Amino acid sequence: MNGQPAIQVRDLHKRFGDLHAVKGISFTVPAGQIFSLLGPNGAGKSTTISILSCLLQPTSGDALVMGHSVQREPMAVKAAIGVVPQEIALYEDLSARENLDFWGKMVGLRGAALRQRVDEVLEIIGLADRQKGRVAKFSGGMKRRLNIGIALLHRPQVIIMDEPTVGIDPQTRRNILDSVKELNRQGMTVLYTTHYMEEAQELSDQIAIMDQGRIIAQGTHQDLVQIVGELDRVDLTLNALPDWVTDRWQQIPGVQKVIVGAPSHPQATDGERTVTLLVDDSNLVLPRLFESATQAGVRITSVTIQEPNLEAVFLHLTGRALRDE
């Protein structure tokens, strides 16, 4: 790899008419790493991925993949990347093997080399014994595996995965995350987009948090958590919420931020309100919160305390929750 970064993005902009989808982002992905773009829907992740996959031209700026410009050398970039789209982009009336054969030809494989690589990929994705089955009859998990397998056919140096776990069951999701780690162990650089902070946290060597077309924070998981320091996140569910209560909570020493109605708490029911607080020490702050609530005649129906995580970072930086988007 000669120490060359796998991906370099430089002041990348993309406009769709009046919509400024990507607003001058820059980041570098060293070869052999898993790099996650984390952000809510509409943050600009997919647009960025589309530019890196040569599906869209940037309005300005550039991106280099294995040293090749997506604008000037798109064919070289395509040869270096394998793209796993969010959707199951397969031909359902063809068999698994026929799909791999076709996509293999599209990336330039022929003859014996194609047959051999298809056999290898079928083994990797665990579909060797189902290779003649029609994809339409596959389970969701099998389709996902085949969807990933197609991206591996030409042994790309970089795998780009666009939210590959959206809308799938936990078991399939687990399989995909394990596959990503395995591919990375084999030396592939992985650019992974997600709006699940747990995935970014588990997989990534580096994470860039995107919001509204910008990268608002970037670094390792530890780097990012440092942004919120040792803050605890406290999620409360209440039966009512007068304004003056949140004003009073804001005055309590140790409370850094109060966000009303942010992440919907799993236990919240109709008519209940949720409040999220970032606090220095939840043990010290919680009694004061209960005291104020009691004085206001408000009942706290549930409390959740979380250690600092990427969700808290996003909340801290944007005032909004990742999953609210």
Partner 1 sequence: MRILDLTIKDLRQLVRDWKTALFLVIMPILFTLLFGFAFGGFGGGAQDPRLPVGFIDQDRSSSSASLLRLLDQSGTLRPVLLEGQEADPERAERKVQAGDLAAVVIVPASYGDRLLAGEMIPLRVLLDESEPAGLTARREIQTAALRLAGAAEIARLSAQAYEAQARFADGLARRQFLAEAVDRAIQAWQEPPLTMLKTESKAMEANPIMQSGFSHASPSMMVQFSIAGLIGAATILVSERKSRALRRLLTTAISRPQIILGHYLAMFLMIIIQFVILIAFGQLLGVPYLRQPLAVALVMAATAAWTAALGLLIGVLAKTEEQTIIYSLIPMFVLSGVGGAWVPLEFTSQTFQTIGHLLPTAWAMDGFENLVIRGLGIESVLQPVAIMSAYAVGLFALAAWRFRFE
- Is 114 a binding residue for partner 1 by CB under 8 A? The answer is no
Q: Which tokens go with 151?
A: 């991206």
Distance, in Å, from the CA atom of 272 to the CA atom of 238, rounded to the nearest integer, reads 6
**Least CB distance from residue 305 to partner 1, whole Å?**
41
Distance, in Å, from the CA atom of 254 to the CA atom of 257, rounded to the nearest integer, reads 9
Give the one residue of 16, 72, 92, 291 binding partner 1; rule: CB under 8 A.
92
- Is 249 a binding residue for partner 1 by CB under 8 A? The answer is no
Distance, in Å, from the CA atom of 181 to the CA atom of 75, rounded to the nearest integer, reads 27
- Is 139 a binding residue for partner 1 by CB under 8 A? The answer is no
Give the one residue of 41, 57, 105, 240 binding partner 1; rule: CB under 8 A.
105
- The DSSP code for 45 is H
Residues 6+ apart with CB under 8 A from 91: 98, 99, 102, 135
- Is 120 a binding residue for partner 1 by CB under 8 A? The answer is no
**Least CB distance from residue 11 to partner 1, whole Å?**
24
Distance, in Å, from the CA atom of 35 to the CA atom of 180, rounded to the nearest integer, reads 11
Give the one residue of 43, 90, 121, 127 binding partner 1; rule: CB under 8 A.
90
Give the one residue of 51, 83, 234, 245 binding partner 1; rule: CB under 8 A.
83
Give the one residue of 19, 88, 113, 260 binding partner 1; rule: CB under 8 A.
88
- Is 113 a binding residue for partner 1 by CB under 8 A? The answer is no
**Least CB distance from residue 155 to partner 1, whole Å?**
14
- Is 107 a binding residue for partner 1 by CB under 8 A? The answer is yes
34: part of which helix (H) or strand (E)?
strand 34-38
Q: How many residues bind partner 1 (CB under 8 A)?
A: 26
- Is 78 a binding residue for partner 1 by CB under 8 A? The answer is yes
Q: Which tokens go with 321?
A: 């929750």
Length of the chain: 325
Distance, in Å, from the CA atom of 273 to the CA atom of 302, rounded to the nearest integer, reads 11
**Per CB under 8 A, which region of 1-9, 27-35, 50-58, 170-178 contacts partner 1?**
50-58
Q: How far apart are the first and last CA of the chain?
A: 38
- Is 89 a binding residue for partner 1 by CB under 8 A? The answer is yes
- Is 322 a binding residue for partner 1 by CB under 8 A? The answer is no
**Which of 50, 61, 59 is CA-nearest to residue 14?**
59
Q: Within 150-169, which residues bind partner 1 (CB under 8 A)? A: 150
| Contact (CB, 8 A) for 293 and 240 | no
The smaller minimum CB distance to partner 1, of residues 104 and 263, is found at 104
Distance, in Å, from the CA atom of 11 to the CA atom of 151, rounded to the nearest integer, reads 27
Q: Which tokens go with 171?
A: 């078991």
| Binding site residues, partner 1, CB under 8 A | 53-55, 75, 78-79, 81, 83, 85-94, 98, 102-103, 105-108, 150
